Amino acid sequence: MQSIMLKAKLHQARVTHAVLEYEGSCAIDANLLDMTGLREYEQIQIYNLDNGERFTTYIIRGEAGSGIISMNGAAAHKASPGDRVIICAYGNYSDAELANHKPKMVYLMEGNEVSHSANAIPVQVA
């Protein structure tokens, strides 16, 4: 049996660009891709914390070390520079793979500098 599970997440990334007339959908700093294992052309979900938009797009590789998170094409209508977004990718995993599966999560600060990383989300308390 296969289960769809969180593969990787960039938490509270800041949108740096919104370019309507550009081919490609979401450019992400190559260093951030490498840290999370995300890949160019991989499907992602983007959740905009500032306006509530949730949308699906794909990754294009951004300049390493630039901190770029650019919404391009139609995605430029969903997020503006300065918006905080959560970028997630999901994968299909077998029961055997799930025994050791841990998502790669990278938490970002303003300027898209890495605050810390984790492989689990803390338990939410009441």
Is 74 annotated in a binding site? The answer is yes
The active-site residue, picked from 47, 58, 90, 107, is 58
Is 57 annotated in a binding site? The answer is yes
Render 52-115 in DSSP notation, one character per residue: --EEEEEEEEEPTTS--EEEEGGGGGT--TT-EEEEEEEEEEEHHHHTS---EEEEE-TTS-EE
Is 37 annotated in a binding site? The answer is no
Is 75 annotated in a binding site? The answer is yes
CB contact at 8 A, 30 and 39: no
Based on the residue annotation, tell me whether 3 is a catalytic residue of this protein. Answer: no
Report the relative pairing of strands 54-62 and 26-29 from DSSP bridges: parallel
Does residue 19 sit in helix, strand or coil? strand
Based on the residue annotation, tell me whether 25 is a catalytic residue of this protein. Answer: yes
Q: How far apart are CA 44 and CA 20, in angstroms?
A: 19
- Which amino acid type is present at position 92? N
Annotated binding site: 57, 73-75
Catalytic residue positions, numbered? 25, 58
Annotated binding site for substrate: 57, 73-75
